[in-house]
Every structure is written in C-alpha cells, then in structure tokens.
Amino acid sequence: MPGLESVSEWTRGYLGGTRDLLIGGEWVPAQSGRRFEVIDPASEDVIANVAEGAAADVDLAVKAARRAFESPAWARMPGAERARLIWALADRLEAEAEKIAELETLDNGMPIGVARGAVVPLSADVFRYMAGWATKLEGRTIPLDVPPQPDAEFFAYTLRQPIGVVGQIVPWNFPLFMTSWKVAPALATGCTIVLKPAEQTPLTALFLGELMTEVGFPDGVINVVPGFGETAGAALADHPDVDKVTFTGSTEVGRQIVRASAGNLKKVALELGGKSPNIVFDDADLPAAIAGSADAVFFNAGQNCVAGARLFVQEGAYDELVAGLAERAAALRVGPGLAPDSEVGPLVSAEQLERVTGYMGAATEEGAKLVAGGGRLGERGFFVEPTILTDVAPDMRFMREEIFGPVVGVTRFTDLDDLVARANDTAFGLAAGIWTRDVSRVHKLAPRLDVGTVWVNTYSLNASALPFGGFKQSGWGKELGEEGVSSYLQTKSVCIGL
Ligand code: ADP
C-alpha cells in the first residue's frame, strides 16, 4: 500500500516537523504543552504530531485577532491591497498544489487526483472570486421622506463594515476547500480570523497559515488553532470577544454552537448536515443519471454534506437505474488515496468506520435489501464498500439520519405530489438533485423542494459565485456568492439632517 515512503521529501519533512499553533504571526506550542496524533486513514499509521490547542490558546488567538482587527496595518489597508494579498495567496496555493495534495490525501484519505485536480483549483478559485469583492463593498444612498417633518431634509447612506473577529470551525471532509469558503470572504471584508480545523485533518489549515504569512498578511489576521471540538471548538464558540462564529459540521454540534454563542450573542452561521433527495425521472438521460447518482453518494466515500443519500426513481426507470448503479458501485476502485487509480478512498477515521458500518448493518436488520456493498473492505485502513439498499421505508433509521458514508437507499415513485411529500419528509434541507429532460417539470418542481440548492442533470457542483447553505435544520445563512460576502459585513445607517 503506498504510504509515507511514496510522498515527496518535502511532505515527509513537513509531517516530521514541529507543527505548532499560529497565533499573532508566531508558531507557538499549546499552553498545556499537549500534542495530538494525526492518522493516515488508509494505513492507520500516525503521520504527524500537532500542538493541541484548547481554551487558553483560543483566548490568546482571539486577542491576537482583535489586535490585528484594530491595527492600522489591516483596518486601514485599502481594499485593493487586500485583494492583491488574497490573489497572491491563490497563486501560492496553485504553485504548491503537489504539496497540498499530498498533505490532504494523507490527512483525509481522498484520492490524490481529487486533491490535486479539484480541491486545489476550486479553493484557489474561491480566493480569487472573493478577492474581487474586496474592492466592491459598497453601501447605498437612501432618499428619506419622514412624514412628521415634511420640510426637513436628510441625507442618508449605509456603510458596510467588517463584523470583526470571526471564529471559524471547519470539518474534516474537504479540509482545505471548506476552509477556503470561510477564510476567503473574511479576508475580503477585512475581518480577522481564528481558524479551528477538525482534529482529524489539521494539516492543510496549518500550511495555509504558513502561506498567508509568507505572502504578507499582517500578523494576527489569521490564527490557526488545531484542537478538539469539545475543548478548542467550544471555547471559540463561547468566547466573549468573538463577534461571529461560522461552523460547518453536524447538526448536533450546530445546536451546541448556538447555545455556546448565546453569552455575547455573537452572530452565528451554520452549514450543517443533510439527507438529500436525488430524483430520477423516466425521461432522463439514464447513463448520465446513473453516473451522476453514483457520484452524488460515493464521491469522497460519501463524506459529503450534500450526498444524494435518498434516491427516488420513477417507476419506468427503476430497474435500469438500480442495475446500472449496482454495476457502477461494484466497478469503483476503492483504495488508498495515494494509489493513482483509486476512485474512492477510506473513511476519515476509525470512529467513522464504526458509525458507517453500524448504519449498514442496521439497514439490513430493519429489512432493507442489499444490492451492492454492505460492509468494511479489508482489515487495515478505514475502507468501506459503496453500498446500495432497496426495499427501504422512510422511517428506517438509515433513511432519516445523516450517515456520512457511501450508502444510498433507493425507492420508486409514480405520483409527483407523493414524491414531493416524501422528498421533503426530513428535518434536513440542504440540497436535491433532479434528472429529467423536461424543462417545464424542472421549473415546477425546484420551488417545491425545501432545500438550499437544487441541481438539475448534475450534482454536487459548487461554484464560488453560487450561494450555498441549507433550509430547515441544515443551517443558517449562506456561504459563497454575494450573500456569502455579506455575511461577514454589518450594515451601518448614517443619517444627516441638512
Ligand atoms: P463529526 O461529528 O462528523 O466529526 P463535527 O460536527 O463533530 O463532525 O465536527 C466538525 C467540527 O466541529 C470539527 O472541527 C470539530 O472539532 C468541531 N466541534 C465538534 N464539537 C464541537 C463543539 N462542541 N463545539 C465547537 N466545535 C465542535
């Protein structure tokens, strides 16, 4: 199995080095002196030791971020200069694609081709897109007509100002990409950041911190504090001097963040779980629908918040679609991310392996029928089989809860109203897919799905300009696009009596 010996000398050196916290422009050990192990999910080997931040370190990082927020070097930096730095960072990410890809694959397990060919260019694109906004943060002039004072004249306008110190809590499924969604708009708007990567995947966040220092962001604009959710993450959500916390992760932790944020009523943005319906109509281009539906749930080993985990297929296409999907599942090459031909890597951790295989077992016990996969692959590394279940009922546990693994439940439909009711019968509302050639049907159906994103004849497409975020218990607020930028700004009204 390709492992550490197959990566570059640079990567081995980086992993072997002292990976400390970035606070106020300095690399420092945790106050407690503690460190935690980083595991390669393909080999289960320990590949690095990282300083373990906790409340005391978060406090120092927040102080550094506050100083940076108030410093003339950042607060008075022209938007064009922020844009230049952000653009330079995007260039550095691309220049270091190979290093980033190796770190991301060793840390998260994803195929190196995905890390190199998708994660790096997409992340760089988010930074470039957001760089453009740094010079376009405009308020408005607002004509006022105030009834009790008919003769008075006013001049009123709005200013849009950065929210301040932002705590950013990031998940492990797409470490760098999810980080770029949060860091890029915060920089574009002039906020400062305390970034807490997931304990499973801290490496590319630390490297991003290095690159930001190198391109010339002032000290303290970004602070990177790896650590555990219950300690470092909770301290950030609770901190009285953090103005906003933005979180991507499970719905359960999202609720804890909301509770923790109540002390100083900090602003909260949440991108949470999903159980997304993916809908295939009879008239769809079936080969495309099969490939797309497989990708929708098997990509990144299903560790994807938008995974199309509930597949609804119209009666006439059902048999062909299930057969095609099963063929695709069996053909997918599951293996170590560093092996060039792997299409699906391991799950991120032993904990995830236990969770996902637990759901697989419970599904068949509840009466679902296994059409493909169903369990762990091999004995070393956290690999699981792409799994397809039919004969599923909406109240089965695996059809209601987010699994975060390559598991899809397939069910058939005939009537459109019944389909809509079933698709919406979930606490989540992140995304949905529709496969059809009927344009009119698309426009009628898309508004009826209670989700933040509808993909038609494609799936999982995220673009920097497209707002992303969930309805219902899938989140609060949007990331990316203009709305994503606005979420790091607050509007001030200025009213002048003339
Ligand atoms: P998962 O359960 O799939 O690991 P989480 O939602 O727990 O996903 O993790 C996403 C991020 O949230 C990680 O960075 C994790 O450390 C952090 N986190 C977990 N628990 C908490 C918490 N109580 N407060 C703040 N952050 C947390």
CA 195 to centroid of ligand 1, rounded, Å: 13
Q: Which atom of ligand 1 is nearest to the CA of 252?
A: 6
pLDDT digits (tens, 9 = 90+) for 429-470: 999 999 999 999 999 999 999 999 999 999 999 999 999 999
Q: How confident is the model at residue 245 (pLDDT cuts 50, 70, 90)?
A: very high
pLDDT digits (tens, 9 = 90+) for 337-369: 999 999 999 999 999 999 999 999 999 999 999
Q: Is the pTM of this model over 0.95?
A: yes
Note if 305 is an active site residue: yes
What percent of the chain stands above pLDDT 70?
A: 100
Residue 467 is predicted with a pLDDT of: 98
Residue 17 is predicted with a pLDDT of: 95
CA distance 203 to 442: 41
Alpha-carbon 338 to chain mean position: 22
Q: Which atom of ligand 1 is nearest to the CA of 236?
A: 25
Residue 125 is predicted with a pLDDT of: 98
Strand, coil or helix: 423: helix
Residue 2 is predicted with a pLDDT of: 78
Q: How confident is the model at residue 4 (pLDDT cuts 50, 70, 90)?
A: confident
SS3 of the chain: helix, strand, coil, percent, to 5: 45, 20, 35
Residue 283 is predicted with a pLDDT of: 98
Is the pLDDT at 203 greater than 90? The verdict is yes
Strands 35-39 and 46-51, how do they pair? Answer: antiparallel
CA 380 to centroid of ligand 1, rounded, Å: 26
What percent of the chain stands above pLDDT 90?
A: 98
Nearest to 17 by CA among 167, 210, 164: 210
Q: Are 185 and 485 in contact (CB under 8 A)?
A: yes
Q: Which atom of ligand 1 is nearest to the CA of 196?
A: 14
pLDDT digits (tens, 9 = 90+) for 218-231: 999 999 999 999 99
CA 182 to centroid of ligand 1, rounded, Å: 16
With a Cβ cut-off of 6 Å, ligand 1 is lined by 169-171, 196, 198-199, 228-230, 233-234, 237, 249-250, 253, 256-257
pLDDT digits (tens, 9 = 90+) for 41-66: 999 999 999 999 999 999 999 999 99
Is the pLDDT at 1 greater than 80? The verdict is no
Q: Are 197 and 54 in contact (CB under 8 A)?
A: no
Is the pLDDT at 167 greater than 80? The verdict is yes
pLDDT digits (tens, 9 = 90+) for 111-166: 999 999 999 999 999 999 999 999 999 999 999 999 999 899 999 999 999 999 99
CA distance 492 to 437: 47
Mind listing the domains of the chain with CATH numbers? 4-272+475-494 (3.40.605.10), 277-464 (3.40.309.10)
Supply the mean pLDDT for the chain: 97
Residue 62 is predicted with a pLDDT of: 99
Q: Are 123 and 207 in contact (CB under 8 A)?
A: no
Is the pLDDT at 301 greater than 80? The verdict is yes
Whose structure tokens read 């063929």?
Answer: 327
Q: Which atom of ligand 1 is nearest to the CA of 228?
A: 16
Residue 5 is predicted with a pLDDT of: 86
The DSSP line for 282-338 is TTS-HHHHHHHHHHHHHGGGG--TT---EEEEEGGGHHHHHHHHHHHHHHS-B--TT
First-residue to last-residue Cα distance in the chain: 75
Nearest to 185 by CA among 491, 492, 483: 483
Best residue among 204, 250, 253, 401 to mutate for probing ligand 1's pocket (most ligand atoms within 8 Å of CB) is 253
One of 305, 343, 401, 402 is an active-site residue; which one? 305
Residue nearest (by alpha carbon) to ligand 1 atom 17? 229
CA distance 478 to 322: 34
Note if 365 is an active site residue: no
Is the pLDDT at 413 greater than 80? The verdict is yes
CA distance 59 to 64: 9
Tokens for 166? Answer: 């932002």
Best residue among 36, 50, 169 to mutate for probing ligand 1's pocket (most ligand atoms within 8 Å of CB) is 169
CA 168 to centroid of ligand 1, rounded, Å: 11
